[in-house]
Amino acid sequence: MYQERPSRLGGAVVWTGDGSGRVLPDGCMDLLWNEGRLLVAGPDTRAYVTAGAPGSWTGLRFSPGSAPAFLGVPAHELRDRRVELSDLWPVSEVRRLRSRIAAAPDPATALEDLVLERAAPPDPVLRALVTALDAGRPVAVTADELGLGARQLHRRSLVAFGYGPKTLARILRLRRALALAGAGVPFAQTAVRSGFADQAHLARDVKELAGVPLGRLLAAGL
């Protein structure tokens, strides 16, 4: 069973589950704990489907664009990947952190505490970028409003999100559509309200990014 709660780290979410299911792109990255292992889930450009692994999973899902400052690794290096934290940080340091979490009465709280101790202050430009794109603002207009050139915006997006701003906008649009459709809004209205040209455009994007039709996603509770 999957459960989540807001983290004490602004914009983040702490979750627990069995590690199985279809993980949809969301512009985020996760720090994961599973059976004595610390892993990082990089930013996805397509649905990540897994049958799960032995034992339970705990994760902290960073707000979009905030994980690279914590990890010290550009997001594009982890795009569509799951890696051991020891591949990114010194093995001795990761071993110490694993022991600390394993000894804690609640791994989720211990994982959250670890992140809170090392988290960097939020980047106001990245926050403004996500807010604008999530509201459906065009990428070019957003770049102008932020005082960034197209190339500079693309470089910053690769580092923060793992892909360019157009891909981020597309993923955020998908998330808006899923929220509307999940609330019972008819698909045609969902398409228009979330920024798609029409219902067919919505259907194509859902199939490409999520791997299955919208109706199947809703039936699965995603």
Per-residue pLDDT of the chain (222 residues; tens, 9 = 90+): 789 999 999 999 999 998 778 899 999 999 999 999 999 999 999 999 886 666 689 999 999 999 999 999 999 999 999 999 999 999 999 999 999 999 999 999 999 999 999 999 999 999 999 999 999 999 999 999 999 999 999 999 999 999 999 999 999 999 999 999 999 999 999 999 999 999 999 999 999 999 999 999 998 776
Specify the pLDDT at position 221.
Answer: 75
CA 48 to chain centre: 12
C-alpha–C-alpha distance, residues 218 and 183, integer Å: 10
Specify the pLDDT at position 52.
Answer: 61
The ranges of the chain annotated as CATH 1.10.10.60 are: 124-219
Specify the pLDDT at position 197.
Answer: 95
Specify the pLDDT at position 19.
Answer: 76
Question: What's the maximum distance between 2 C-alpha atoms anywhere in the chain?
Answer: 54
Specify the pLDDT at position 50.
Answer: 82
CATH topology classification for 124-219: Arc Repressor Mutant, subunit A (1.10.10)
Specify the pLDDT at position 53.
Answer: 60
